[in-house]
């Protein structure tokens, strides 16, 4: 094996090997033995990539505890509707001086004014739409001075569309609280009219408005009107 082969196996660059050989040749040109050339080659091991750790990394803690499946947060409590707060119109006579306006659940006021459900309405006969159809609204009593019957009646508040209209029956029963000529006081102990008067008298008073009464509706007609005395 030649010296050059030793250099090649030791991974010495070719240029460096040629230079060393030339020096060796020059040293032995005069016949004297050339000194031995010692070449030390240090091989640096290549860096191996670090093996991944076999120990799994700890998972990051999660915030909060997930809710179990099927659970739901409670929603807000349902608020009562206006009809829930108002007594419905029924066959039962409402309190004469009741302080809450009656309701007509299920009545669609967007379809125009029409008759209320069958029953007794504490209301105001406030206008005649024509010779037969009367317009009326439910009312409540507003007390004054702390008395039980001292006060006044008032209809639905502004913006409330509660109003009705129905024909006055030909044989309607009208009981007046002021007599048929409007000059007497014809009432019972509950301040309700007792004097029966004509249909024409009822139509005349309704056309003027301000006639407070217990209004009975049956089969979409006004069949009875009992006037409430209001001082």
Structural domain count of the chain: 2
Q: How far is 156 from 140, CA to CA, in rounded Å?
A: 8
Q: How far is 206 from 203, CA to CA, in rounded Å?
A: 5
Residue 51: Cβ within 10 Å count? 6
Both tokens of 53, joined, read: 């750790």
Domain that holds residue 29: 1-43
| Same domain, yes or no: 32 and 101 | no
Q: Is the pLDDT of residue 17 over 60?
A: no
Residue 147: inside a domain: yes
What would the pLDDT profile of 114-169 be if each residue is shown by its tens digit?
999 999 999 999 999 999 999 999 999 999 876 777 899 999 999 999 999 999 99
Q: Region 91-98: what's the mean pLDDT?
A: 96
Q: pTM for the complete prediction?
A: 0.64
What would the pLDDT profile of 194-213 be if each residue is shown by its tens digit?
999 999 999 999 999 999 99
Q: Is the pLDDT of residue 106 over 80?
A: yes
| Same domain, yes or no: 223 and 129 | yes
Residue 54: inside a domain: no
| Same domain, yes or no: 91 and 38 | no
Q: How far is 211 from 188, CA to CA, in rounded Å?
A: 17
For position 29, what pLDDT does the model report?
44
């Amino acid at each position: 094996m030649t010296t050059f082969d030793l250099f090649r196996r030791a991974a010495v660059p070719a240029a460096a090997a040629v230079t060393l050989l030339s020096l060796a040749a020059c040293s032995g040109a005069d016949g004297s033995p050339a000194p031995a050339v010692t070449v030390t080659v240090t091989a640096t091991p290549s860096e191996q990539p670090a093996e991944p750790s076999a120990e799994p990394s700890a998972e990051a803690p999660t915030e909060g505890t997930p809710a179990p499946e099927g659970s739901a947060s409670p929603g807000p409590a349902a608020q009562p509707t206006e009809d829930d707060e108002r007594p419905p119109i029924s066959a039962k006579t409402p309190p004469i001086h009741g302080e809450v306006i009656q309701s007509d659940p299920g009545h669609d006021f967007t379809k125009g004014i029409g008759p209320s459900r069958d029953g007794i309405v504490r209301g105001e006969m406030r206008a005649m739409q024509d010779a037969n159809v009367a317009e009326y609204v439910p009312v409540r009593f507003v007390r004054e001075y702390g008395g039980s019957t001292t006060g006044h009646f008032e209809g639905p508040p502004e913006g409330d569309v509660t109003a009705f209209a129905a024909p006055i029956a030909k044989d309607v029963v009208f009981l007046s609280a002021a007599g048929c000529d409007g000059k007497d006081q014809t009432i019972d102990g509950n301040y309700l009219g007792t004097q029966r008067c004509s249909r024409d008298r009822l139509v005349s008073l309704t056309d003027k408005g301000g006639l407070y009464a217990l209004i009975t509706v049956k089969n979409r007609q006004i069949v009875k009107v009992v006037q409430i005395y209001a001082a």
